[in-house]
Amino acid sequence: MLSRQTAPSLRKFETPFYFYDINLLRQTLESITSVAKRYGFVIHYAVKANFDPRILSIIREYGLGADCASGNEVRCAIEAGFDPSGIMYAGVGKRDAELRYAIEQGIFAINCESLQEIQVVDSIAGALGKVQDIGLRVNPDIDPKTNKCIDTGQADSKFGISYEELVANLDVIKSLKNVRVAGIHLHIGSQIRELHVFEYLCVKVNSIVEHLGKLGLDFGFVDVGGGLGINYDVPENEPVPNFASVFSIIQSHLKVGGRPVHFEFGRAIVAQCGELITSVLFNKTTASGRRLVIVDASMTELIRPALYGAYHNIENITSTSEERKRYTIVGTACESTDVFDEGVTLPLTQRGDLLTIKSAGAYGMSMASRYNLHDLPSAVYSDEL
Ligand SMILES: Cc1ncc(COP(=O)(O)O)c(C=O)c1O
């Protein structure tokens, strides 16, 4: 993570930009791979969290598979060197061309989220003369106790097939000749900090696996998704997420008869290694006395605060003032929701100061847009300073 000592060396780069701490990324990957190995868990990296080519190539070095959410993400993973045999492809809507591409590449599995999708995969695979392995993404109806904008596992969510619908159509699915049910898949949400939620997930998975077995469905892998949260409040206290805790919960509670267990983590792998560095453009005070700091980044570089009300810790890394003030940090986009945070206490903050918006390595750059024709932010890596 960035320290005040590093700040002067950042002055030569044009803001706003993403700064990536490569050592921290490697430490995180060492931690996740060593603990996963203990239990024989298979880890896929959720490419949607950050598809920066340098980040992807480092993640690939550690032997992770990839979890993709579009045909272009599958292509991006393959171009970054991920072996197709370790690529999952999930997503509530997949276009025919995307499915065809994924099937042609021979990826590990397409995680299907509706009966119709399974039938379309069957027909495209048939036309290509192939049999495609699929995972059945079941909606488990679990409250992941997270921000409702990133909750994907409750009954009314658009994600996954309801278990009732799956069971009602099991014979149809089993009768298809060009798909093979290779596994089941669940992903209940993101930024999960209450780890006991993973115990509920295991209980649900156990009963699904047992029941599907009784119904005569023979399948291999169990993919329990991603979702492990990180410490946005004080990132320095937890630069590497607690993979040991979540894996030990899954190991103790999941009873899936020796089937391979897969995970798809995004945020937990890349969030803490990335920070958005931005310069202060202007200060002004509103009629009601709100002290605004207008920075040169905006929701076009980091949309999470505007989109979900997500919190990111912000620090002024260049001010040496002893004076402290409360500020509202806003971006340059023509949207009133383009606010990074309200009521942040910072040292006296003035034009030209550099601020870091921390824990921005996941769903930061990958969600950047060119709204207002802003340029996309560049990346600076710690080992290139
Ligand atoms: C199907 C699926 N798997 C994995 C992930 C990664 O989640 P996270 O970044 O919380 O680990 C997501 C994120 O939305 C997802 O939709």
- Which of 67, 89, 232 has most ligand 1 atoms within 8 Å of CB, for mutation? 67
Note the Cα 368 to chain centre separation in Å.
14
Q: How close is the Cα of 187 to the center of ligand 1, in Å? A: 7
Which residue's alpha carbon is nearest to atom 16 within ligand 1? Answer: 187
The pLDDT score that the predictor gives to residue 382 is 96
Q: Can you list the residues of the chain whose pLDDT is less than 50? A: none
**Torsion sign (Cα): 79, 83, 84, 90:** negative
The pLDDT score that the predictor gives to residue 318 is 96
Q: How close is the Cα of 267 to the center of ligand 1, in Å? A: 8
- Which of 222, 264, 265, 304 has most ligand 1 atoms within 8 Å of CB, for mutation? 264
Eight-state DSSP code of residue 87: E
Q: Which atom belonging to ligand 1 lies closest to the Cα atom of 91?
A: 1
Residue from 362, 165, 341 nearest 264 by CA = 362
Q: Which atom belonging to ligand 1 lies closest to the Cα atom of 226?
A: 11
Q: How close is the Cα of 168 to the center of ligand 1, in Å? A: 27
Give the per-residue SS3 of 156-216.
Answer: CCCCCEEHHHHHHCHHHHHHCCCEEEEEEECCCECCECCCHHHHHHHHHHHHHHHHHHHCC
Q: How close is the Cα of 319 to the center of ligand 1, in Å? A: 37
Superfamily of domain 22-270: Alanine racemase (3.20.20.10)
- Which of 50, 190, 263, 269 has most ligand 1 atoms within 8 Å of CB, for mutation? 190
The pLDDT score that the predictor gives to residue 155 is 79
Q: Which atom belonging to ligand 1 lies closest to the Cα atom of 192?
A: 10
Residues with Cβ within 8 Å of residue 245, at least 6 apart in sequence: 195
Q: How close is the Cα of 300 to the center of ligand 1, in Å? A: 21
Q: Which atom belonging to ligand 1 lies closest to the Cα atom of 227?
A: 10
pTM value? 0.97
Residues within 6 Å of ligand 1 by CB = 46, 49, 67, 90, 187, 190, 225-228, 264-268, 362
What is the rounded CA–CA span in Å between residue 238 and residue 195?
A: 15
Does residue 351 contact residue 370 with C-beta atoms inside 8 Å? no
Q: Which atom belonging to ligand 1 lies closest to the Cα atom of 190?
A: 10
What is the rounded CA–CA span in Å between residue 143 and residue 312?
A: 24
Eight-state DSSP code of residue 384: G
What is the rounded CA–CA span in Å between residue 180 and residue 218?
A: 10
**Domain at 4-17+273-384, CATH from 3.40.50.720, 1.20.120.420, 3.90.1150.10, 2.40.37.10:** 2.40.37.10
Q: Which atom belonging to ligand 1 lies closest to the Cα atom of 150?
A: 14
Q: How close is the Cα of 219 to the center of ligand 1, in Å? A: 22
Q: Which atom belonging to ligand 1 lies closest to the Cα atom of 268?
A: 11
Q: How close is the Cα of 121 to the center of ligand 1, in Å? A: 22
Strands 161-162 and 132-139: parallel
Residue spans in the chain of domains classed CATH 3.20.20.10? 22-270
Does residue 124 contact residue 103 with C-beta atoms inside 8 Å? yes
Q: How close is the Cα of 227 to the center of ligand 1, in Å? A: 6
Residue from 257, 165, 159, 243 nearest 205 by CA = 257
Residue spans in the chain of domains classed CATH 2.40.37.10? 4-17+273-384
Does residue 178 contact residue 127 with C-beta atoms inside 8 Å? no
| In the chain, alpha helices (H) | 7-10, 22-39, 53-61, 71-79, 96-105, 115-127, 163-168, 170-175, 196-214, 243-253, 267-270, 304-308
Q: How close is the Cα of 322 to the center of ligand 1, in Å? A: 42
Residue from 265, 337, 279 nearest 88 by CA = 265
Does residue 159 contact residue 206 with C-beta atoms inside 8 Å? no
Q: How close is the Cα of 48 to the center of ligand 1, in Å? A: 8
The pLDDT score that the predictor gives to residue 147 is 78
114 three-state secondary structure: coil
